[in-house]
Amino acid sequence: MSELSEYLQANKQLSKHTVMSYSKAYDKVTDLLDDTLAESRQKDILDIVKTLSDSPNSVTQYINAVIQIRRFYKAPVDRLLKQRERLQVRIQEVKDAVNDEKFDNLPDASELKKWLNKLYADERWRDYIINYILITFNTRNKDLDLVIVDHKRKATDKNTNYLIIKPSGRLELIRRDYKTFATYGEKKNEFLSKKVVHAAREFVNEKGGEFPIYLLSTGHNKRIEETSLAKFIRGRTLNGLSEGDINKMQVSTIDKVGDFRLLKKMSKNRGTSVDNLITEYHLKFKNK
């Protein structure tokens, strides 16, 4: 059994995405090594990964994979860890510069509201639902991978996100499959919105009139692949904004009004800590 195969066999809990990422990194690095990954010198490995990409993010991904595999074989990783720390500093510097530029050029909250109203007026029902949830609940892309049903008893899959149109006319957003689920668990948001109810019912009718319906789907109710979510969603937002851009806009608005309660609400909605929001977006708040 090969070095990589043995590692993957012993770590079956890894996601499909992680397996693909580690396999790609392993193949690229070992292709240029004279020995196995576990038996090669850290210096030789670092010399190789530096040639594979100019992006500190990409180099870090290669190093992450190498570290995990070498740890499995109890090979030293101290120099790899130090290089990863240095790369993290560079990544943060680039991220800070990008964030500063985006804050200066992003549209404001009023433009998001106008966009939402336009989508409704143009009867773009799916796009309206997507943008409403992004804006109202500060979600990431994965949170929008929703199944629309008409009763809570149909929301039975413990690994699925749901938008429930209740017989009472109220709605419930249930998230069980999102980035920080392991930390924050299932999230439920019950709300009343005649527009969202109308949009959801019209969207269901467009798709054949029967529940359940995938919100993010192509023809014949075919669910969008996870790797295509970002592109699919950006094709339906104002000026192609990403979910991260929309979150930055809302964070900027909260920063201007200085309302710490809104920051805590965003933290709860998104499933991220207040500290992380303050650090990530350089807010002026002092944690309370």
Predicted pLDDT at 103: 60
The domain spans of the chain are: 3-103, 109-281
- Residues constituting the chain: 288
Tens place of pLDDT per residue across the chain (288 aa): 689 999 999 999 988 889 999 999 999 999 999 999 999 999 999 999 999 999 999 999 999 999 999 999 999 999 999 999 999 988 888 777 766 666 666 788 889 999 999 999 999 999 999 999 999 999 999 999 999 999 999 999 999 999 999 988 899 999 999 999 999 999 999 999 999 999 999 999 998 888 999 999 987 888 999 889 999 999 999 999 999 888 888 887 787 777 788 888 889 999 988 888 877 765 555 444
CA gap 160, 183 in Å, rounded = 17
Q: Please tell me the pTM assigned to this model.
A: 0.67
SS3 132: helix
Per-residue pLDDT tens digits for 12-58: 998 888 999 999 999 999 999 999 999 999 999 999 999 999 999 99
CA gap 120, 161 in Å, rounded = 23
* Closest residue by Cα to residue 224 from 214, 237, 235: 214
Predicted pLDDT at 243: 92
Structurally, at CATH architecture level, domain 109-281 sits in Orthogonal Bundle (1.10)
Predicted pLDDT at 64: 95
Q: Could you tell me where the DSSP H helices lie in the chain?
A: 3-10, 16-30, 42-52, 56-72, 78-105, 109-121, 125-137, 181-184, 194-206, 229-234, 243-257, 260-270, 274-281
SS (H, E, C) 82-105: HHHHHHHHHHHHHHHHHHHHHHHH
Q: Between the CA atoms of 125, 126, 128 and 133, what dihedral angle is there, to the nearest 10 degrees?
A: 140
Spatial CB neighbours of 239, under 8 Å, sequence gap ≥ 6: 107
Q: 23 phi and psi, to 5 degrees?
A: -65, -45
